């Protein structure tokens, strides 16, 4: 049988592993930080109507500039942003790929602070960008001084900061973003996939007069739209022009554009469950210590918890009960998404039945 290594694949991709969060259809799926609440039926009806209208025109290519979607996203983000400040693609993963295609690539580097979102290094690999790393402070935090000194040491072309950070949930101070920007002559990308779950200012508030700052967002998390694949980015119009150089023409289908615009018209309803999800997150953080685990602070819709003697065994025991969480590869840790009240109860009850710290 032919194996991958028998093929003339790029040398720099040999031995790499693809992104591979398990996709299992079990009753409680808390492993990829989706919004587990289905979208309201009235909104779904409006989306179907918009998509149906778009279908009638699919003999033509879609609007290459996704003008209406950029208008909707600019209005949603506020912060004085205009459509010229907005980019979008099929998930923020594709947005990040565009960023690395335009500003990274062979001979260039991107600096990240692991543990962080696993796709950051995978997209670096795919675009031939060298992935360099620096350490975090205690409890996965990042201070302005730590970030600035890593940038001065590594001199990367691009810096990736994840705010709040996945998989740890750690919030990032706005002062850290400012310090990172001042320390680098290169591009600073702040991945704000989970921004709607955090309190306090976002990197969007720093965009004015910072043409090398790029802020990526997604409709996959708080916005309950993961299956539609819509991510976006806000930046100076010149940075958006750079992304235009690497995107494939018509990369956002007419159906995607129609669905996203219709959903954004109902932003309040789509985001209605965010407060409840935050409450479930805080409920898990409050309950886990009594079960012998050590949850980390989280500003996102998930909780990373330590003190797990055998993460694989706990993962498997929960899975046997139809509960899917995530082993993110951090020793003695597991990560769980905050879902509905009922899902939290099922998860916590199952964990309690396993006994103290999964022993
Ligand atoms: N950034 C972070 C930090 C994420 O956790 C994720 C999804 N897990 C993404 C980006 C990508 O999400 P999407 O491509 O669905 O927008």
Could you tell me the CATH number of the domain that includes residue 234? 3.40.640.10
Residue with CA nearest ligand 1 atom 2: 193
Whether pTM > 0.95 for this model: the answer is: yes
Same domain, 259 and 285: no
Same domain, 105 and 172: yes
Q: How far is CA 112 from CA 135, 151, 258, 338, 353, in A?
A: 9, 10, 34, 25, 38
Residue with CA nearest ligand 1 atom 8: 32
- With a cut of 60, say whether residue 236 has pLDDT above it: yes
What is the spatial distance between Cα 158 and Cα 191, in angstroms, rounded to a whole number? 13
Measured over the CA atoms of residue 283, residue 286, residue 290 and residue 291, the dihedral's sign is positive
Report whether residue 166 contacts ligand 1, using a CB cutoff of 6 Å: yes
Report whether residue 167 contacts ligand 1, using a CB cutoff of 6 Å: no
What is the spatial distance between Cα 285 and Cα 26, in angstroms, rounded to a whole number? 24
Same domain, 319 and 220: no
Mean pLDDT of 61-83: 98
Report whether residue 117 contacts ligand 1, using a CB cutoff of 6 Å: yes
Same domain, 234 and 297: no
Same domain, 24 and 73: no
Query: What residue numbers bound the domain in which 190 lies?
Result: 41-269
What is the spatial distance between Cα 314 and Cα 19, in angstroms, rounded to a whole number? 22
The DSSP call for residue 284 is H
Mean pLDDT of 88-117: 98
Banded pLDDT at 191 (limits 50, 70, 90): very high
Same domain, 209 and 339: no
Q: Strand 109-112 vs strand 28-29: parallel, antiparallel, or unpaired?
A: unpaired
Mean pLDDT of the chain: 96
Report whether residue 97 contacts ligand 1, using a CB cutoff of 6 Å: no
Mean pLDDT of 192-213: 97
What pLDDT is attached to residue 359? 52
Indicate whether 311 belongs to any domain: yes
Same domain, 148 and 25: no
**Helix, strand, or coil here: 156?**
coil
- With a cut of 70, say whether residue 358 has pLDDT above it: no
Same domain, 210 and 158: yes
Of 251, 269, 287, the last residue of a domain is 269
For residue 226, the ligand 1 atom closest to its alpha carbon is 15
CA 47 to chain centroid, in Å, comes to 24
For residue 219, the ligand 1 atom closest to its alpha carbon is 16
- With a cut of 70, say whether residue 354 has pLDDT above it: yes
Of 269, 300, 315, the last residue of a domain is 269
Indicate whether 52 belongs to any domain: yes
Number of domains in the chain: 2
Of 235, 269, 303, the last residue of a domain is 269
Q: What is the CA radius of gyration of the chain?
A: 21
Nearest to 63 by CA among 83, 47, 45, 77: 83
Q: How far is CA 68 from CA 42, 93, 124, 151, 213, in A?
A: 21, 21, 30, 38, 24
Indicate whether 36 belongs to any domain: no
Structure tokens at 332: 């003695």
Banded pLDDT at 219 (limits 50, 70, 90): very high
- With a cut of 70, say whether residue 356 has pLDDT above it: no
- With a cut of 90, say whether residue 22 has pLDDT above it: no
Report, in this order, helix, strand and coil percent for the chain, each rounded to 5. Answer: 45, 15, 45
Q: Strand order of the sheet with strand 294-295?
A: 294-295, 302-306, 334-337
1 CA to centre of ligand 1 in angstroms: 35
Could you tell me the CATH number of the domain that includes residue 314? 3.90.1150.10
Mean pLDDT of 212-228: 97
- ipTM of the complex, rounded to two decimals: 0.99
């Amino acid at each position: 049988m032919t194996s991958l290594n028998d093929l003339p694949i790029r040398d720099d991709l040999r031995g790499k592993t693809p992104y591979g969060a398990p996709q299992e259809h079990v009753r409680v799926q808390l492993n990829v930080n989706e919004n587990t609440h289905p979208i309201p039926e009235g909104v779904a009806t409006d989306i179907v109507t918009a998509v149906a209208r778009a279908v009638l025109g699919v003999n033509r290519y879609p609007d290459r500039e996704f003008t209406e979607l950029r208008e909707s996203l600019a209005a949603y983000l506020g912060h004085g942003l205009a459509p010229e400040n907005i980019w979008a693609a099929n998930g923020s993963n594709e947005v990040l790929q565009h960023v690395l295609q335009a500003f990274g690539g062979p001979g260039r580097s991107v600096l990240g602070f692991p543990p962080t979102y696993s796709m950051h290094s995978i997209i670096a690999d795919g675009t031939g960008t060298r992935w360099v790393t620096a350490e975090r402070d205690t409890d996965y935090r990042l201070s302005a001084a730590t970030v600035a000194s890593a940038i001065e040491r590594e001199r990367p072309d691009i810096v990736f900061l994840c705010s709040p950070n996945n998989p740890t949930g750690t919030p990032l101070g706005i002062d850290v973003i400012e310090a990172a920007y001042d320390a680098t002559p290169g591009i600073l990308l702040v991945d704000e996939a989970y921004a709607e779950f955090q309190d306090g200012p976002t990197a969007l508030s720093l965009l004015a007069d910072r043409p090398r700052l790029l802020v990526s967002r997604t409709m996959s998390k708080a916005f309950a739209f993961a299956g539609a694949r819509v991510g976006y980015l806000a930046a100076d119009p010149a940075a958006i022009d750079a992304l235009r150089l690497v995107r494939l023409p018509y990369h956002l289908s007419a159906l995607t554009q129609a669905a996203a615009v219709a959903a954004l018209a109902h932003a309040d309803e789509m985001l209605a469950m965010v407060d409840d999800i935050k409450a479930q997150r805080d409920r898990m953080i409050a309950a886990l210590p009594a079960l012998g685990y050590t949850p980390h602070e989280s500003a996102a819709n998930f909780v990373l918890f330590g003190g797990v003697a055998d993460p694989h065994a706990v993962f498997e025991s929960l899975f046997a009960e139809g509960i899917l969480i995530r082993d993110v590869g951090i020793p003695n840790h597991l990560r769980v998404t905050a879902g509905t009240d009922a899902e939290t109860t099922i998860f916590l009850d199952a964990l309690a039945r396993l006994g103290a710290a999964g022993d």
